[in-house]
Structure formats: C-alpha cells, structure tokens
Amino acid sequence: MYIAVASGKGGTGKTLVSTTLALCAGDCSYVDLDVEEPNGFIFLQPEIEKEIRFTLPIPEIDEAVCTFCEKCAAACAYNALAIIPPLKKAMLFPDLCHSCGACAYVCPTPGALKEVDKEIGRIRIGRKGKIKFIEGRLNVGRPSGVPLIGGIINDYLNMDDLLFVDASPGTSCPVVESLKKSDYVILVTEPTPFGLNDLKLTVEIVKELGKKTGIIVNKDMGGRSGIDDFSEEVHIPILLKIPYSLDIQKAYSRGIPLLESLPGIKEKFTALLNRVFEKK
Ligand code: SF4
Ligand code: SF4
C-alpha cells in the first residue's frame, strides 16, 4: 500500500507525520520524495547502504560538425540552447535543459549533436531496523525534480511493500508525480488561514487524481477551526490532531522523532493507520 503524506506548503509537519507513521508501522519503507529538501533522514538516522547517481541525457554539440542551422535552438521550448552562426558558436545552458530530446530529434546533421548523461541528483538507499529507507536528492540548480521522483517510483519502489511516501510540498508537478500512484493521501495542515488556503489547493489536486484522502491537523490549538468546517464541507475526515507544543517544536528542531517527544501518540497513530488500511 502506497500512503503519500502531502501538504500545500513546506513546514506544516509532513516529515514529522511520515516518519512517525514509518516508526509506528515498523516493517515498511519510508520514501523521501521531497527531493529539493529531503530531511526524513534526520529523524530516522538510517544506515546508508548505497548511493546511486541519477542521470538524464542532455545534448552535446560538436562545433566542428555543426552547420549552425539553429533548428535545435528553435525546437527547444526551454531556451536551453543558443546557436550563434556568425561566431560559429553553440551554447548549452545545462540547468535549463529538461532532457526532452527535441533538439536531437530535429538536428539534420549526423554527428553534430549527441546526447550525454548528466547527473541531476542522487538516490540514497539504506535501512533503520526494519524500515527500508529510500531518498531522492536533487542537485542544486536543476529546474525540476519530476524525473528523479518518477525514476524512484518506477525503478526503486516495491509496490507490494507498505510505503510511506514523504511527498514534495506545494501544488505543482513534483507533488502530482509523488501522488499519482498512491492508494491513500494524508494531507497535513495547520489551523491557520494560510494552512486552510493551501489545504484547499491540495484537495483540488487529490480530487482531480481521484485519491482517498484524510487530514491531519498539526499544531492544533484546541477547539474548532476553519479546517473542521472545510473537512465537513468536502467530506474528507480529520484523522488526527497533533497538539501545539513548544516541547514538540524544540524536539523537532533537534531531530527527535515525535514518538519520543510526545509519549502516548503511538496509539493514536496506530489507530489512524488501521483506519487508513480499512479504506484500501
Ligand atoms: S540542429 Fe544540429 S546542425 Fe543545426 S545548429 Fe543544432 S546541432 Fe548544429
Ligand atoms: S533536450 Fe530539450 S530542453 Fe534540453 S536542450 Fe534539447 S530541446 Fe532543449
């Protein structure tokens, strides 16, 4: 079962929740697809067994063969290529390249343009007790984490495992890629106007994807909030409320898992998991 933990923005407690779920379940995989800023390892402290380079093809132009016809630059939707015929110069801006292959497809001159592998990130695989740990880490400056996220999901996950996936934050392509194959999505939010706004945006995505969904409210101050009203309005249950506590925040800043900073929460997370399993 693929359980994704998502939120409309960073800093709401997504990693806190996903690592707690993995530590409660025990025999499972924790997958950090927050590839621009993976930090689940801080709480799980896994032993890393291997690190794999993740590469994508980018063009390399041989100026001795190139006729400087500019067809490749015209085909590039990302302005990653500049051809300067008077100077007989071909320039690639690798950080803009999305490895779409269009330039190689349109080049009419054999031998002028070939594709070479460029590392865009790393995949780290390890273990913490019974928990298998998989993490994507995008290199600084890369325009999109989507290929790395898709590569991990397609090639490194065993869909027969119990998977807790720490999805990318936000509401753009990386989070959609992280949620596409999920069986259930847990949305983490905060009881603030900003939290509610981002929750609404993320709910639009999960509804579009047709996913079963539940909400966890982090930093709950007690009583009702706009999240309760919205939950009833869209018929998405609130699975759990984690209380606001300075002790939890201090422990979080030191990389101490929630199971240690809030004794008694394990039973609540276990009950939450049983509720999610019933929905499968
Ligand atoms: S399309 Fe091929 S030949 Fe034309 S400018 Fe690009 S690399 Fe050179
Ligand atoms: S692979 Fe695509 S994005 Fe990259 S330079 Fe070629 S056309 Fe542009």
Walk me through the domains of the chain, giving residue ranges and CATH numbers: 2-54+121-278 (3.40.50.300), 63-111 (3.30.70.20)
User: Which residue in the block uniquely carries the two structure tokens 């001159």?
Assistant: 109
Residue partners of 192: CB distance under 8 A and separation at least 6? none
Instruction: Please list, residue by residue across 108-144, b when 16 or more beta carbons sit within 10 angstroms of its beta carbon and e when fewer do.
Output: eeeebbeeeebebbbbbbbebeebbbbbbbbbeebeb
Q: Phi then psi for 138, rounded to 5 degrees?
A: -80, 140
> Which uninterrupted H or E stretch holds 82?
strand 81-84
Q: Phi then psi for 240, rounded to 5 degrees?
A: -165, 150
For residue 118, give Cα distances in angstroms to 51, 124, 249.
16, 18, 39
Both tokens of residue 1?
């079962």
Residue whose C-alpha is closest to residue 135's, from 50, 208, 202 = 50
Both tokens of residue 42?
């801080």
65 close to ligand 1 (CB < 6 Angstrom) = no
Residue 172 has pLDDT above 90, yes or no: no
**In the chain, which ranges are continuous DSSP H helix?**
14-25, 40-44, 71-75, 102-106, 146-156, 173-179, 193-209, 226-234, 246-253, 258-261, 265-278
* Between 16 and 142, residue with greater pLDDT: 16
Both tokens of residue 84?
């300067």
- Ligand with an atom nearest the CA of residue 85: 1
66 close to ligand 1 (CB < 6 Angstrom) = yes
Give tens-digit pLDDT for 181-240: 999 999 999 999 999 999 999 999 999 999 999 999 999 988 888 999 999 999 999 999
Mean pLDDT of 115-133: 95
Give tens-digit pLDDT for 143-156: 788 999 999 999 99
Residue partners of 245: CB distance under 8 A and separation at least 6? 261, 262
Both tokens of residue 134?
């998989």
Mutate to test the pocket of ligand 1, among 58, 63, 83 (most ligand atoms within 8 A of CB): 83
- Ligand 2 atom 4, closest CA: 97
Residue 280 has pLDDT above 80, yes or no: no
Give the CA radius of gyration of the chain. Answer: 22
Relative to the CA of 106, which ligand 1 atom is closest?
Answer: 1
Give tens-digit pLDDT for 9-61: 777 889 999 999 999 998 999 999 999 999 999 999 999 999 999 999 999 99
Mutate to test the pocket of ligand 1, among 109, 114, 115, 116 (most ligand atoms within 8 A of CB): 109
